[in-house]
Amino acid sequence: MKKKIYTSVIPAVCLLFLFCIPFGKVAAQTDFLSRRISIRLDQIPVGEALGQIGRLGGFSFSYDASLISDSKKISCQVTRTKISDIVKMALGERIIPRQVGNHVILMNAPVIREKKQKSTYTVRGRVTDAQSGRLLPHATLYAAQNDIAVSSDTAGIFTIKFSTRGITGITCSRSEYKDTVLFIDPAKDTTLQIALEKSIPTVEKLSSRKAVLSTRSPDTLSPGQPVIAGVEEMAFVKFLVPRKSVRTAQNVQIYRKGSAQISFVPGAGTHGMASGSYSNGFSFNVLAGYARELNGVEVGGLVNIERMDVRGFQLGGLANLTGGQTSGFQVGGLCNVNLGPVKGFQLTGIVNWLSDTLKGFRLAGLGNITLGKMRGMDLAGLFNLAFHHVNGWQVAGILNAGMYEVNQAQISGLVNYGRENWGFQMAGLLNLTIKENRGVQIAGLINVAPQANRGVQIGGLLNYSRILNGFQLALFNVVGQVESGVPVGFLTVIRHGGFYRMEVSADEVFYINAALRAGTRQFYNIFKAGAGEGGMVNFTYGFGTLIGLGKRVGMGTDLTCGVVMSTRTGLRYHGMQARLIPTVDIRLARKWTLFAGPALNLYWFNTGNTIMPDGIAPYTFYDHTFTTGPHRIQLWVGGTLGVKIF
């Protein structure tokens, strides 16, 4: 039973996510009635006054001549006042404005009628091209007062049925054509012939990429990144939303703030096929809904689809798909797909997909994907992908990737990737910065900055950088060239300009020693072996630093620790010897340096497990045997003398 569930649900989830990936462009529409203007009218005829208001607002008024008397004159003076309030002030409560496309239609306020007074009439007609007379299919006709929208068929023919009489404004819209508004008051069924004139393309429309980018935040796209589509171009939306509803939304924008929608699926609801043109204050979608934008609360059993902006709270059982800006709280059972910027909080079970800029917090069960700049915090169970700059925090169970600069933090269970790190990277396995690390990298195993490390790298196993101008700490450090930094570890390999010295020396216990020093002058590793009297040998590791005091003179300090063994009866362990050795280095020739100095020695051994129970010290100033066990410590001061060859 469980196997059947997994084999059916998992492919469905993957299919839904693929259907939600966008390709194409984004559109925008202005709420003219909410625009604020300043105007002074002093006994101006109504027609001229409305013309001035329309020019300031960037739209045209349309109204029936019998609705408003031409002899009426208007006087008012306002500063930064909404156009809707100015219309109400000038024309009174009896006239209501309704935005349809680039027009504001003035109508009588609706009159409540009893059922027995209602009658039905029909308006039929045909839509053609004004120049060629060609029939125009898929034109949208919207009756603003009756809130009815229909489309012309493939022959350009349309039919609208009304349930009440009275003057009605009908707007005819089609992409690439100018809107036409007609006012009718039929006493019986009416037939119309509507000829639409082609609109003149603006410069912005001729440059499609510029037009699309102008609707988005200015720093959204990465160089060379493809233009992103509107929600109508998503495969899932094409499958779910009727093409008639999409064409209606593209042809005409019906803007009414605070409207409510109840729908079963797109096209089957209170706004019918015109749902994609409405701005809703509340929306309840039994299965799925399709609207222009949300300015309130929306709940959908499966999917919520907004062509433009979302401001408020949105809950989708499976997904929320938004074409514009999102400001507020979005919860999607499987995914949230946003083509515009997000300012707020997003929560989803699988994936948050954002084609624009993030300024907020996102939480995803699987992953977060951002094509624009990321300013905020992404928290995901598996991965976070940002294809632009990361100016926030990415926290993921497996992978964080920032294709450009990482300016704050990446924390991952396995891998962090950034083109350039200016912030903080912490990973259980690997931190990878393609260009430069100028911040901090901390990894359980490996840190890699192929071009340069100008910050800090701390790795459990390995740090790699071509150029080092910072600090490295790991078991192994591999550097192409050290400019001004310091690598610290068990072994540091520097390809160009490293500090490498071979040496031969003698001290008071071991008469012949050979050593290799590798690293930098500031910090080098010491690998040493020596032999002494009676078959005694030592194998030593340590580190040190060398400070130049002049052209031929330097001062070094070494700290070493190693094992002391005997070769008399096989290789037998005796004890541990630690040495602190300050030296003076004098260069004798180009490749020969003489060094000498005192040495503070500490020798620790088990008196019951050595053939030399008195130790190896020639003399001591401290000698102590522990009563709790056969352990003994000796301290003495000795010396060293040798030659470095390089």
Is a pLDDT exceeding 60 seen at residue 5? no
At 603, which CATH number?
A: 2.40.160
Domain-embedded: residue 49: yes
Least confident of 369-378, 433-442, 626-635: 626-635
Is pLDDT of 12 > 70? Answer: no
Residue 182 inside a domain? The answer is yes
User: pLDDT value at position 147?
Assistant: 72
**Whether residues 508 and 604 fall in one domain:** yes
The answer to whether residues 136 and 101 belong to one domain is no
User: Looking at the structure, do residues 542 and 603 belong to the same domain, yes or no?
Assistant: yes
One domain, residues 190 and 314: no
- 634 with 523, same domain? yes
Q: Where are any strands of DSSP class E within 57-154?
A: 60-63, 73-82, 95-100, 103-108, 121-129, 140-143, 148-151
* Three-state secondary structure call for residue 202: coil
Contact 197, 131 (CB under 8 A): yes
Q: Is 219 a domain residue?
A: no
Does some domain include residue 308? Answer: yes
Largest pairwise CA distance in the chain: 128
Alpha-carbon dihedral 432, 433, 434, 435, rounded to 10 degrees: -160
Q: Give the confidence band of 15 by pLDDT, cuts at 50, 70, 90.
A: very low
For residues 250 and 296, state if they share a domain: yes
What is residue 452's predicted lDDT score, i.e. its pLDDT? Answer: 92
- Report yes or no on 355 lying in a domain: no
181 lies in the same domain as 63:
no
Residues 99, 185 within the same domain? no
Shared domain for 298 and 242, answered yes or no, is yes
Same domain, residue pair 269 and 185: no
Report if residue 358 sits inside a domain. Answer: no
* Domain edge (last residue) among 63, 86, 108: 108
Average the pLDDT over each of 219-233, 265-279, 379-393, 491-505 and give the range with the smallest value. Answer: 219-233
Residues 505 and 576 in one domain: yes
Task: Work out the pLDDT band at 164, boundaries 50, 70, 90.
Answer: low
Looking at the domain assignment, is residue 23 inside a domain? no
- C-alpha 452/C-alpha 433 separation (Å) is 9
Q: 302 and 259 in one domain?
A: yes
More confidently predicted of 144 and 338: 338
Please give the model's pTM, rounded to 2 decimal places. 0.72
pLDDT digits (tens, 9 = 90+) for 591-607: 899 999 999 999 998 87
Q: Into how many domains does the chain fold?
A: 4
Give the model confidence (pLDDT) of 84-115 as tens digits. Answer: 888 877 777 777 787 776 777 777 765 544 44
Q: What is the CATH number of the domain that holds 172?
A: 2.60.40.1120
Percent of the chain with pLDDT over 70: 85
Calculate the average pLDDT of the chain. Answer: 83
Region 401-417: what's the mean pLDDT?
A: 93
Residue 363 lies in a domain: no
Segment 554-565 mean pLDDT: 94
Task: Give pLDDT, residue 208.
Answer: 32
> Which whole number is the average pLDDT over 495-504?
90
Q: Which domain holds residue 39?
A: 32-108
Dump pLDDT digits (tens) for 241-250: 888 788 877 7
Long-range contacts of 546-550, Cβ-Cβ distance < 8 Å, separation of 24 or more: 546/499, 546/521, 546/585, 547/521, 548/521
